[in-house]
A = this chain, B = another copy of it.
Amino acid sequence: MTALTRFDLTSMPPRYRTSFVNALSGFKSANLVGTRHPDGQENLALFSSAVHLGADPALLGLISRPPVSERHTLENILATGVFTLNQVHPGITEAAHQTSARYPRDISEFQACGLTPWYSGTLDAPYVQESRLRIGLRLRDTLPIPLNDTVLIIGEVIEVLTEPDAVGDDGHIHIHHLDTVTVSGLDSYHRTLPLARYPYAKPR
């Protein structure tokens, strides 16, 4: 067994600590969240906090930072009740990272970062045309997290657009075949290599 070192968060400089703590949860998802202001202005933002909440109803959660400054994504979702999630692959990873820059409200991150808005006709929120797995969601709830003023945004999946070859006979989506990337910390992007699939676990 390796002897591990104990790290004490209280003595870390703020930026070091932010980077350190962001890696603790493990590998994270990379999703571009597409929204639209009621005036039509499109917005796109990278989130690494999407979390599965349940399959029936099909619910996904997203953590939004405190609404102390402009949070275009949260404001648009509250105003329109819809948003899209678009998985990121290596061909759009740099553009996806660039959406996290603090653009003013009247700039579309689609245009600024070189991505293409696309509408399915089902909901009034833009998808990322370059993404190979796109999810349309309707806002179902927002739960404030009083400890740090973040907000859990809960959406119900209303449609999924992806490549049929990626979906197995059992319903499993082989997101590795879609080359979906994963994030660690604030800025580290990774591809994946299949290791194993295991059967449903039973006591033995």
A interface list, Cβ under 8 A from B = 1-2, 4-9, 12, 14-31, 48-61, 63, 85, 87, 90, 93-94, 97-103, 107, 112, 116, 120, 129-130, 132-135, 140-141, 143, 145-148, 150, 152, 154, 157, 159-164, 167-168, 170-176, 180-182, 184-204
Contact = CB atoms under 8 A, between A and B. Distances in A.
Contacts of A87: 26
Nearest to A137: B24
A67 to B, nearest CB: 14
Contacts of A61: 51, 63
A94 B196 contact: yes
Residue of A1, A22, A55, A56 with most chain B CB atoms under a 10 A cut-off:
A55
B14 A25 contact: no
Contact of A26 (B100, B182, B186): B182
Given A20-B172, A192-B192, A147 B154 contact: yes
